[in-house]
Amino acid sequence: MHIATCVWQEKASAMGVGAGGDVGAGKKKKGEWAAPPGRRASALAVAGGALNCLVSFVVFSFLDVLDVVLCLVYKLIDYAVEAEWKACYCTAATSATSAPPPRIGLVTSPAVTGPPKVVRLSASSTKLQLEDVSDTLFVRPSLLADATKKGPGTAAPALTVVSPAIAELIRGKMDRPPRQAPCWSDCDCKVCHSWSAAGPRSSSSSHLYVHVQAPPPAAIAGGEVVEDVVFIHGFISSSVFWTETVFPAFSAAARGKYRMFAVDLLGFGRSPKPAESLYTMREHVEMIERSVLQRYRLGSFHVVAHSLGSVLALALAVKYPDAVKSLTLLAPPYFPVPESEAGSATQYVMRRVAPRRVWPPIAFGASMACWYEHVSRTICLTICRHHRVWDRLFRIFTRNRVRTYLIEAFMCHTHNAAWHTLHNIICGSAGRMGAYLDVVSDQLSCKVAVFHGRDDELLPVECTLAVGARVPRARVTVYDRKDHITIIVGQERLFAAELEAIWRSAAAD
């Protein structure tokens, strides 16, 4: 079992205090001719960082060119296969120019400041609602442009309206009738498109897929008070991230007391993957409300969320402050934006999440997925469309269900869903996260627990420490030798016991 360390230990480590309280334990002894270990390690780190920067510049400069080539290739293939010349964000104008005349479905306004805003007709009502579309979708300067840019930072241009090209692209998505058939580059298996099997008017196309683990009838008949728990997975994942790990690890007492809901977010797993969706915060939250809170009539509930799901969990907590009993966040993507970057918060977060570096590998993957629209589509075409093949291969070579279930979790989505969710939720929430956490700190009384793996190379542990600083009452735990996935996978029973303790504590208050 790995030892969990808390915030005060993090601060002690940052000050150079060792386990025994000694400071400066690595000093050079008298008579030694070799450089101190700390100095040698520092020199190697500098050399490695310089090499990483050099190789990254070459690789990502190549990817800048490759993405332009793939843009043309996919346009030709889309037109040949589906008789449709599909627009993309990389070819849309990024300058702030006069928008086309507004109409119902899309309205742009020069009075709007900050990231571009889109007003659209909500599918659930006749009221015009404001949607946020992250400017990182269409403001992604090349690495060479960043390198030659003068002055600190790489702020996005001050957009006050949506440019005509972007407006037409978004309008095209919104005006397009719901499409049940998958795109040629998406998987059409029963897992990925089970939601469309019953036809366009089926309830499955308007609700998320939800795995429900309810207490046995005997427990309910015995008068046991049943509490509800909503589990929200992270980016390019699904409900199996929970159902194959902590769900089987809960004690019999917990299984008899808690009704657990694990959702597949819009665009992922077995949930609907509409081609016309922009996968904004409002769309994701509304689908969770419709599919879980309203459908199962949840009056109060606990929330457990991982990574990107933490953003949606905070949005739910802010919207339902009296209903949330406890809030458990794992590896939340919270990057406090410096004042110097306040005008380009989304760009700042994109560069933190996807730094365009070849090392570590997880940062390389995130950078390709975030910066290159057509390179990331190629990755989805190669991996997601053929996830059944990868699953068979992993079953043959590993004979390990723990590994093969992750194939389903990470590969059952479309490029359209992943691309928009990444930008509109993680990057687009840059200006919201601080406000969400302030509401949780000042206006909510629920239990708040935050967990992180010290070896997480995708979202650094500083994200969780920043959440703890923003919400002082939050219980912050950092697991040694755990990363973004193994914070749960590999210690399922330990984490299940942690959750049960949190829920019991919330009920005792």
Please list the active-site residues.
Answer: 233, 307, 456, 484
Single-letter amino acid, residue 164: P
Tell me the CA distances in angstroms from 106 to 95, 172, 287, one per residue in order: 19, 10, 21
Say whether 487 sits in a helix, a strand or coil.
Answer: coil
Say if residues 117 and 106 touch (Cβ distance below 8 Å): no
Instruction: Label the pairing between strands 128-132 and 117-121.
Output: antiparallel
Which residues are registered as beta bridge partners of 4? Answer: 479
Nearest CA among 499, 458, 453, 508 for reference residue 477: 453
For 338, other C-beta atoms within 10 Å of its C-beta total: 10
Give the helix ranges, DSSP H, for 1-117. 7-14, 37-82
Residue 21, Cβ density class (10 Å: 0-12 exposed, 13-18 middle, ≥19 buried) = exposed
Say whether 58 sits in a helix, a strand or coil.
Answer: helix
Nearest CA among 206, 192, 178, 164 for reference residue 276: 178
C-alpha count within 13 angstroms, C-beta hemisphere, residue 4: 13
Angle at 306 between CA 346 and CA 284, to 5 degrees: 60
Cα distance between residue 237 and residue 231, in whole Å: 12
Single-letter amino acid, residue 168: E
Say if residues 180 and 200 touch (Cβ distance below 8 Å): yes
Cα distance between residue 344 and residue 44, in whole Å: 34
Look up residue 50 and give its two tokens: 């310089």
Say if residues 281 and 425 touch (Cβ distance below 8 Å): yes
| Cβ partners under 8 Å of residue 268, min gap 6 | 233, 236, 237, 238, 412, 413, 417, 421
